[in-house]
């Protein structure tokens, strides 16, 4: 008898477990951007913190101002904690990128119409003192054996608008942190001296309110010191000085463009050491830094009314804050030892230029009947 057939074995089919999926890796460009952000965040954060503190101190001591305080605090922090590798990349971004952003924002608060509003009587004095400052920086700087970067920065700082001009031109010519720090330090010494001495001299000379305003606006470097000196002399003098100073600030545009062209041509000549520098013209778009073009665009937009006048205080405050953050980055990259190596010569250059600008302004005012 054949054995009974066994029932068919039941086969249990289990569904395969879902495969564990790993999140897709971010694209290489995003990974690089995140890595870059992580590298610069510590130093940029330190520079921003110093900039905020410096602006607060600058409100308490307006003659010195926030940007100058920022560079001094940055140098102090570096000397106290030493040069930290984690801070350097962010400090460099602050000293360059944030600085350029500050310059563009500054342009949005300037009106190209102010040149016409000051009248033709003020322009000869402004142009004359600027010529004295730039020519004196070149001649006296060589005589005193001051390096070219430092004497250029001291010249534009004395002839135009102090720390703001130094910041702008340093970005154009690629000046070293030490040159920027020494130039700013030199300028602030004579800013404070001008704020104190100008009203005394003005009263001794019996100057009018308008005449003193023109003198202070063309011969004192930083806006805060111009306002301080003008306010001490009188309300009308302060108003006139601010208008002249604003117009004088606009001179940074042609000066920066000229320096940008010179810097590019020198770089081209260095590359073409074989004698072909004059045979290949550099396109104009490579001669002028992009941030300077944006600065001009911002100023033009303000001039035609695209930027509302009500934004003026916010734009000015933002530009000063960004400048303070940028100069804090410069301070974090500057060692006291490098300043000691520069010696006393840049300081003497700044003093001689300040004296030359002040006396030439008085002479030009006397010659044009605006004293």
Over residues 313-354, the pLDDT tens digits come to 888 788 878 888 887 887 888 777 766 665 788 888 988 999
Question: What is the per-residue pLDDT for 64?
Answer: 66
CB 240 within 8 A of CB 152: no
CB atoms < 10 A from the CB of 19, how many?
A: 6
Q: What is the mean pLDDT of residues 151-176?
A: 84
* CB-based contacts of 178, cutoff 8 Å, min separation 6: 334, 335, 338, 339, 341, 342
Give the model's pLDDT for residue 53: 93
pLDDT in tens, 249-302: 778 878 888 888 887 777 776 666 555 444 344 444 544 567 767 877 887 888
CB 121 within 8 A of CB 196: no
Q: How confident is the model at residue 356 (pLDDT cuts 50, 70, 90)?
A: very high
Separation of alpha carbons 76 and 74, rounded Å: 5
Give yes or no for a contact between 229 and 220, defined as CB atoms under 8 angstroms apart: yes
How many angstroms separate the CA atoms of 172 and 284, rounded?
15
| pLDDT of 41 over the 50 cut | yes
Phi, psi at 222, each rounded to 5°: -85, 145
| Res 36: pLDDT | 73
- By residue count, the chain amounts to 371
CA–CA separation, 75 vs 12, rounded Å?
Answer: 76
For residue 165, is pLDDT > 60? Answer: yes
Whole-number pLDDT of residue 286: 47
SS3 category, 120: coil
pTM of the model: 0.63
Question: Per mean pLDDT, which range of 37-46, 148-157, 226-235 is the poorest?
Answer: 226-235
Record the tokens describing residue 165, joined without a space: 């001009």
- Structure token pair of residue 67: 């940007």
Whether 331 and 73 have beta carbons less than 8 Å apart is answered as: yes
Pairwise CA distance, residues 9 & 3, whole Å: 17
């Amino acid at each position: 008898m054949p054995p009974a057939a066994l029932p068919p074995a039941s086969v249990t089919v289990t569904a395969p477990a879902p495969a564990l999926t790993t999140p897709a890796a971010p694209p290489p460009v995003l990974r690089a951007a995140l890595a870059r952000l992580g590298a610069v965040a510590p130093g940029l954060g330190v520079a921003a913190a110093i900039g905020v503190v410096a602006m607060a101190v600058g409100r308490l001591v307006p003659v010195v101002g926030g940007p100058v305080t920022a560079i001094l605090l940055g140098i102090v922090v570096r000397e106290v904690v030493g040069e930290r590798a984690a801070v350097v990349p962010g400090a460099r971004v602050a000293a360059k990128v944030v600085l350029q952003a500050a310059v563009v924002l500054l342009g949005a608060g300037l009106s190209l119409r102010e040149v016409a509003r000051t009248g033709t009587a003020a322009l000869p004095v402004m142009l004359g003192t600027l010529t004295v400052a730039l020519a004196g920086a070149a001649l006296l700087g060589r005589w005193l054996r001051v390096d070219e970067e430092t004497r250029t920065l001291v010249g534009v700082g004395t002839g135009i608008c102090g720390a703001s001009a130094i910041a702008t031109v340093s970005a154009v010519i690629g000046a070293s942190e030490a040159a920027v720090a020494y130039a700013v330090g030199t300028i602030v010494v004579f800013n404070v001296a001008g704020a104190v001495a100008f009203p005394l001299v003005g009263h001794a000379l019996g100057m009018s309110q308008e005449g003193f305003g023109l003198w202070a606006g063309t011969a004192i470097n930083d806006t805060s010191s111009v306002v301080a000196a003008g306010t001490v002399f009188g309300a009308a003098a302060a108003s006139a000085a601010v208008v002249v100073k604003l117009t004088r600030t606009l001179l940074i545009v042609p000066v920066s463009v000229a320096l940008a062209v010179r810097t590019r041509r020198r770089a081209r000549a260095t590359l073409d050491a074989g004698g072909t520098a004059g045979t290949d013209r550099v396109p104009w778009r490579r001669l002028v830094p992009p941030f300077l073009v944006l600065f001009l665009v911002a100023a033009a937009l303000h001039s035609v009314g695209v930027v509302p006048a009500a934004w003026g205080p916010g734009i000015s405050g933002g530009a000063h804050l960004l400048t303070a953050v940028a100069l804090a980055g410069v301070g974090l990259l500057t060692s006291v030892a490098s300043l000691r190596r520069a010696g006393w010569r840049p300081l003497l250059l700044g003093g001689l230029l300040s004296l030359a600008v002040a006396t030439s302004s008085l002479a030009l005012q006397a010659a044009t009947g605006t004293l």
